[in-house]
């Protein structure tokens, strides 16, 4: 049983906002090998208050209001979702989500996996409260970052999660251990289009329409995304990160030396050098000599297999 804290910026239920955090939550809850210790809300897709309210609504809708839900902090307002225009983030001293993370990690040392799919503000704040959590977190799986410009057709998509809290992202990537990052570029191998939508509808009918509301939300977002980007398919980024957390065999592990800086992360851009054929001791020496830490940037082996796992688990 994997103990998980889900740190997210869920906006399922808000028009013209991604639904992947909500689907990732449903994916986690539908797994019998996950002990979901709590959900911590951060900003990204929208401000943290809206994220908290929509996550509370979703938990009620799927009859899981018993899951601990904690609101994070950070003054952030999204002005334009596609062009990524937002008001400056201001950190706040009091962050209940960060306190929750520290409390749970110290209560369950080396047992907790964190799935982070929004800004890294809460994890950064948790580190500022207690630096020692870096040694007590089992692993962190992050959805975010790009290694090259990300396009849907001829329209570029701006990176969001690292960009909106670049200083926090820098500290987290530099100091934490056992980090895996599902980048936007690598997630593009698993696109969710009309074929996958029809399969989802079929599975929903098989279960007497139990998950019909999920199909409706996916269909709505696919329509909105087409208007925003002129593209027929969507990518369920955060669900892919959840799948990696629980089904890593569907991915190829690739280790990189992280050389990202605050400026590059202000654009969501990871600067990395791939490590090949290094023994663990040599990796550590290389790390110390060159600076920066070692991160895993998994690559999807077969996009169809990832989508199949997604559909079978959610529906």
Q: pLDDT digit string (tens) for 269-293?
A: 999 988 775 555 555 555 544 445 8
Write the pLDDT tens digit of every residue in 196-215: 999 999 988 876 667 889 99
Would you say 279 and 157 are in contact if contact means Cβ atoms under 8 Å apart?
no
Strand pairing category for 272-274 and 255-258: antiparallel
For residue 246, pLDDT beyond 90: yes
Lookup: tokens for 173: 């990537």
Q: What is the mean pLDDT of residues 60-71?
A: 97
What is the per-residue pLDDT for 284? 58
Write the pLDDT tens digit of every residue in 17-31: 999 999 999 999 999
Whole-angstrom Cα distance, residue 101 to residue 106?
Answer: 9
What is the per-residue pLDDT for 198? 95
Give percent of the chain with pLDDT exceeding 90: 82
Q: Is the dihedral of CA 57, 172, 133, 143 positive or negative?
A: positive
What CATH number belongs to 2-191+230-314? 3.90.245.10
Q: What is the mean pLDDT of residues 223-228?
A: 95
For residue 83, pLDDT beyond 70: no
Compute the mean pLDDT over every residue in the chain, rounded to the nearest whole number: 91
User: Which DSSP state fits 292?
Assistant: S
For residue 262, pLDDT beyond 50: yes
Band (84; pLDDT cuts 50, 70, 90): low
For residue 146, pLDDT beyond 70: yes
What is the per-residue pLDDT for 212? 86
Whole-angstrom Cα distance, residue 89 to residue 314?
Answer: 34
Whole-angstrom Cα distance, residue 164 to residue 84?
Answer: 9
What is the per-residue pLDDT for 308? 97
Would you say 224 and 230 are in contact if contact means Cβ atoms under 8 Å apart?
no
């Amino acid at each position: 049983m994997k103990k998980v804290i889900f740190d997210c910026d869920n906006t399922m239920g808000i028009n013209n906002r991604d639904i992947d955090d909500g689907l990732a939550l449903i994916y986690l809850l539908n797994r019998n090998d996950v002990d979901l210790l709590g959900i911590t809300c951060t900003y990204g897709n929208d401000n943290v208050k809206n994220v908290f309210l929509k996550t509370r609504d979703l938990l009620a809708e799927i009859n899981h209001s018993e899951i601990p839900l904690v609101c994070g902090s950070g003054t952030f307002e999204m002005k334009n979702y596609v062009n990524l225009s937002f008001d400056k983030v201001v950190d706040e001293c009091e962050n209940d989500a960060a306190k929750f993370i520290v409390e749970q990690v110290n209560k369950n040392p080396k047992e907790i996996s964190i799935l982070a799919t929004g800004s890294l503000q809460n994890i950064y704040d948790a580190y500022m409260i207690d630096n020692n959590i870096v040694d007590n977190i089992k692993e962190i799986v992050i959805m975010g970052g790009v290694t090259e410009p990300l396009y849907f057709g001829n329209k570029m998509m701006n990176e969001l999660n690292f960009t909106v809290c670049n200083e926090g992202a820098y500290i987290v990537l530099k100091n934490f251990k056992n980090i895996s990052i599902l980048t936007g570029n690598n997630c593009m191998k698993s696109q969710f289009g009309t074929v996958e939508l029809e399969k989802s509808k079929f599975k929903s009918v098989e279960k007497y329409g139990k998950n019909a509301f999920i199909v409706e939300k996916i269909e709505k977002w696919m329509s909105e995304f087409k208007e925003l980007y002129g593209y027929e398919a969507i990518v369920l980024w955060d669900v892919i990160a959840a799948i990696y957390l629980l089904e890593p065999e569907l991915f190829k592990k690739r280790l990189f030396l992280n050389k990202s800086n605050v400026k590059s992360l202000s654009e969501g851009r990871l600067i990395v050098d791939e490590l090949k054929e290094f023994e663990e001791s040599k990796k550590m020496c290389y790390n110390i000599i060159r600076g920066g830490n070692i991160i895993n940037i998994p690559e999807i082996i077969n996009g169809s297999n990832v989508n199949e796992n997604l559909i079978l688990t959610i529906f």
